[in-house]
Each structure stands twice: as structure tokens, then as C-alpha cells.
Structure 1
């Protein structure tokens, strides 16, 4: 990875030699001020992303807490990867158990 050559302080402290037909010093200073702001923004963003990256690495390294299931639920090998489909299927079975008699009486 490439290293950073200048800090925002280095950019701020930089003095250019003047010549008779040189650049407008005020215009150069304004441009460098904008560069410093951008540089500080990028540095803050990099630091924030590094912290988030470390946090995600730490959370991925921790083992997931085991989920307890009641009897009649999914087998243990499937317990760790419960999908939305599995949840909907179980919900459907529970609704049939709870509301089955009402559904049968109404003929739905």
C-alpha cells in the first residue's frame, strides 16, 4: 500500500518561491486550503473505516450464541441457518394448530 507523503500540516506550511511572473499567491493559498480540508476529510474517513473494519473482524471472530429450539422444531444441524422460508413454514403450522378448527368450520 502506498504511504501518505504529506500531512495536512505539511500542505499548510508549504511556501512556494516567488518569481516575477509567478502564480497569484492568494489563489494558490485558497486552493491549498481546499486541499487541506479534503485531506483531513479523507484522513477522518480512512480512520472511521479502519475502526469499522476492526469492529466487523472482531464480531465475525466471536462464535454465535447457540439458539435453543423447543421440541418439534428444526433439527440441530439446521438450527444455525434458519431462513425466512423455514420461519414462514413453522408459522403456517402454528396457525393451523391454533386456528385449524375455526378454518375447518368456516370451510376456508
Structure 2
């Protein structure tokens, strides 16, 4: 998608005049409004491009900061669970557990 017009091209555009043609003043006023809109559109597009670039960089920086989390070994996890279960049994049942 390419933008073919800008405010300078619109300003410099000349139309042929004829006896039953449009009012030159009305056409000029309308072209002035179009030029203002194009200038505003260009400004908005540049702001959005800058914001888009900033957000992409922020996303890349955040992704780079996150270190890949290594999964814990299953043996260690099972051992930790068994140890906690054992401690819980000791706490709940106390000395009765070992009798």
C-alpha cells in the first residue's frame, strides 16, 4: 500500500478551466481542507510508527530478560514431596507413628 498524495502535490495540482466548470474558490477551499487532513494523517502515522517501534523494542527487551526456567528434576520433586509428607505425618500423629 503506497500513499500517492501529499499536501504539496495537492497544493500544486491545477485543473483545467471551462465556462461551465466548478467554482475555483470552492475547489481551492476544499483542497486546503484536504491538505490539512493529509498533514494530520502523516503526523498520526508517524506517531503510530514510533509507538509501534517502541513497543516492539520493549517486547524484545522483556523477552531477552526472561531467562528460560529449567524444569526441576522429577527425582528431587518427588523427594521433596515425600519429605514434606513425612514431616506432616510426624506432626499429626506424633509419637504414635513410631510405636
Shorter-chain TM-score bucket reads: 0.5 to 0.7
Equivalent residue pairs, number:
67
Q: Distance in 1 between matches of 2:62 and 2:16?
A: 60
Cα distance, 1:63 vs structure 2: 3.0
**5+ residue gaps in structure 1?**
67-75, 78-108
Aligned counterpart, 2:46? 47
**5+ residue gaps in structure 2?**
71-99
- TM, length-normalised to structure 1: 0.57
- TM, length-normalised to structure 2: 0.62
Aligned counterpart, 1:30? 29
Cα distance, 1:6 vs structure 2: 1.1
Higher helix content, 1 or 2: 2
Q: Distance in 2 between matches of 1:42 and 1:27?
A: 23
Report the aligned-residue RMSD: 1.8
Structure with max Cα Rg:
2
Aligned counterpart, 1:10? 9
